[in-house]
């Protein structure tokens, strides 16, 4: 009996050691150094670029404040349950997307689907981070390069939108000859539609409203992004590949170097990096919000953002957008949550972590909407246009609209630097987990690779970099929105239905 009691005490002592955060429960795969490492990694994975460039746009497009209703319902009945399910699968199996289905082999295809989606998105997502790096480096100057038209701009570039909008009003009744590329809208010249396509002499004239539609001017920030950064403006079609833009390729390489450094020792290093990358965006968002409250017209933008249109709730598209945004924002069903949770200790409180991350993610989206629309309200006032004409989604918001807005503010390089550093930290968190999902899956499938973690990480990143070089060409940048839409939404739903 004494020996039995001694064994029991010894077993309890071992369990106590296991529960201690300082030791690894799974000596083969390892565990998170602390619970906070895991929590911040999940939060950084969930809170990404979609919170800044997609959610605010969906709100304005789907009834403003009324969109919060289907969004919260989708969170309660879709987001939280699936988020909790994925964490549970990873934690209680201590396996990544490939091997967590070993007790139910019929579902193995789901794991392969998660692996493929994570790999494809990782290649494209890092290109967005590369764009942010490009803009960050370009912001270290006295005058932002996209503040006015430059050598990279076309004849449609116009950097004084105030004058442009006013001069169209006085365009009626003028009869002047000229050429489109020599046009000066301050003279009130209007051109016929056919001439615009042929670049020939003027033969007829349009009234002001039609001229504005047929002869659109473009912002310097739009042409800077299309012509100088991505080169998509120079592509004549999908059969015109163009060359690799070496400046963008170097930024793309830098983004992968950041991933390699963060994952050099797997979760032991990435778990510490997220202490900065997961918290710094909130500091910048607060700073940008305070600055946004000081801008003229900010109240118009915020009013546009939150004013509810309850009639929109009868539209099925609104509910679809809410469901897609929940999955997109929480990064559910991509395999990353399973990979992260697989390094948890067996008795970790999953429900607590789920509620903290899901509610934290959604509150971040709402707050980011206030920040973005305060600047859109300012830009709307400055340009003399309705808010809905300056509100954009996706790369156009983060790399065209906001950069143009900061050029009209004092100390514009400072606000540009803060914004693009925030974008980088938002992006790399998600990129860490996307690549970690691939690495974890491979190491679980081929356990011998665990001895060569750094080599495995470097090999995967090198392969992704080489495949992603096509994204630095003119034609691939021309279809960037198509790639984003397909891999972020369509692949997501295919993966869930597998």
Annotated ligand binding at 160? The verdict is no
Annotated ligand binding at 348? The verdict is no
Tally of CB atoms within 10 A around 401: 21
Annotated ligand binding at 236? The verdict is no
Residue 49 makes CB contacts below 8 A (sequence gap 6+) with 125, 128, 398, 423, 426, 427, 430
Spatial separation of the C-alpha atoms in residues 343 and 92, rounded to whole Å:
10
Annotated ligand binding at 406? The verdict is no
Classify 121 as helix, strand or coil. Answer: helix
Q: What does the DSSP 8-state code read for residue 157?
A: B
Instruction: Report phi then psi at 230, rounded to 5.
Output: -100, -25
In the chain, % helix, strand, coil (3-state, to 5) comes to 70, 0, 30
Annotated ligand binding at 156? The verdict is no
Spatial separation of the C-alpha atoms in residues 207 and 48, rounded to whole Å:
45
User: 222 with 147: CB under 8 angstroms?
Assistant: no
Residue 117 makes CB contacts below 8 A (sequence gap 6+) with 334, 335, 487, 491, 492, 495
CA distance to 131, 141, 324, 326, 481, per residue, from 55 (Å): 20, 31, 11, 10, 16
Annotated ligand binding at 329? The verdict is yes
Classify 85 as helix, strand or coil. Answer: helix
Instruction: Report phi then psi at 157, rounded to 5.
Output: -70, 135
DSSP states of 424-441 as a string? HHHHHHHHHHHHHHHHHH
Residue whose C-alpha is closest to residue 44's, from 478, 447, 430: 430
Annotated ligand binding at 51? The verdict is yes
Annotated ligand binding at 391? The verdict is no
Which residue, chain included where needed, has tokens 């969906």? Answer: 58
Spatial separation of the C-alpha atoms in residues 370 and 368, rounded to whole Å:
5
Beta bridge partners of 218: 157
Annotated ligand binding at 241? The verdict is no
Classify 156 as helix, strand or coil. Answer: coil
Alpha helices, H only, 48-173: 49-53, 55-61, 68-74, 80-93, 108-138, 161-167
Classify 247 as helix, strand or coil. Answer: helix
Instruction: Report phi then psi at 218, rounded to 5.
Output: -120, 150
Spatial separation of the C-alpha atoms in residues 367 and 371, rounded to whole Å:
7
Answer left, alpha or beta for residue 199, where phi above 0 means left and psi between -120 and 50 means alpha.
left
Please state the residue numbers annotated as binding site: 44, 46-47, 51, 329, 361, 426, 429-430
Please state the residue numbers annotated as binding site for Na(+): 44, 46-47, 51, 329, 361, 426, 429-430
């Amino acid at each position: 009996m004494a020996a039995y009691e001694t064994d029991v005490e010894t077993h309890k002592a071992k369990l106590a050691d296991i529960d201690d955060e300082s030791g690894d429960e799974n000596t083969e795969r390892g565990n998170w150094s602390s619970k906070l490492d895991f929590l911040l990694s999940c939060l950084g994975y969930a809170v990404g670029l979609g919170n800044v460039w997609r959610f605010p746009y969906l709100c304005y497009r789907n009834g403003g404040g009324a969109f919060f209703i289907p969004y919260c319902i989708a969170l309660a009945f879709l987001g939280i349950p699936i988020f909790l399910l994925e964490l549970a699968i990873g934690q209680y199996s201590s396996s990544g997307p490939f091997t967590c289905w070993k007790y139910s082999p019929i579902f193995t295809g789901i794991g392969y689907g998660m692996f493929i989606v994570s790999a494809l998105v990782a290649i494209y997502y890092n290109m967005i981070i590369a764009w942010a790096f490009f803009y960050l480096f370009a912001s270290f100057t006295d005058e932002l390069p996209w503040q006015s038209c430059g050598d990279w701009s076309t004849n449609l570039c116009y950097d004084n939108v105030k004058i442009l909008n006013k001069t169209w009003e006085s365009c009626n009744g003028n009869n002047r000859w000229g050429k489109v590329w020599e046009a000066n809208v301050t003279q009130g010249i209007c051109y016929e539609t056919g001439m615009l396509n042929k670049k020939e002499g003027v033969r007829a004239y349009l009234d002001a409203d039609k001229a504005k539609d047929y002869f659109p001017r473009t912002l310097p920030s739009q042409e800077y992004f299309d012509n100088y950064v991505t080169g998509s403006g120079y592509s004549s079609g999908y059969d015109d590949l163009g060359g690799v833009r070496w400046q963008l390729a170097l930024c793309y390489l830098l983004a992968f170097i950041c991933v390699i450094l963060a994952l050099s020792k797997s979760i032991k290093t990435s778990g510490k990096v997220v202490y900065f990358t997961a918290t710094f965006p909130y500091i910048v968002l607060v700073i940008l919000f305070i600055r946004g409250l000081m801008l003229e017209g900010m109240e118009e933008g915020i009013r546009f953002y939150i004013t509810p249109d309850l009639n929109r709730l009868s539209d099925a598209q609104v509910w679809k957008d809410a469901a897609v945004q929940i999955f997109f924002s929480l990064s559910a069903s991509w395999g990353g949550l399973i990979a992260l949770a697989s390094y948890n200790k067996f008795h970790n409180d999953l429900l607590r972590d789920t509620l903290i991350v899901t509610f934290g993610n959604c509150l971040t989206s709402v707050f980011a909407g206030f920040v973005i629309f305060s600047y859109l309200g300012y830009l709307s006032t400055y340009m003399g246009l309705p808010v809905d004409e300056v509100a954009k989604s996706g790369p156009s918001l983060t790399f065209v609209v906001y950069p143009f807005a900061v050029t009209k503010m004092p100390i514009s390089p400072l606000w540009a630097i803060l914004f693009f550093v925030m974008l980088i930290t938002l992006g790399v968190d998600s990129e860490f987990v996307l690549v970690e999902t691939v690495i974890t899956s491979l190491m679980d499938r081929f356990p011998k690779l665990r001895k060569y973690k750094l080599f495995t990480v470097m090999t995967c990143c090198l392969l992704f970099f080489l495949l992603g070089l096509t994204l630095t060409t003119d034609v691939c940048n021309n279809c960037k929105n198509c790639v984003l839409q397909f891999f972020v939404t369509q692949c997501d739903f295919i993966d869930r239905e597998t």
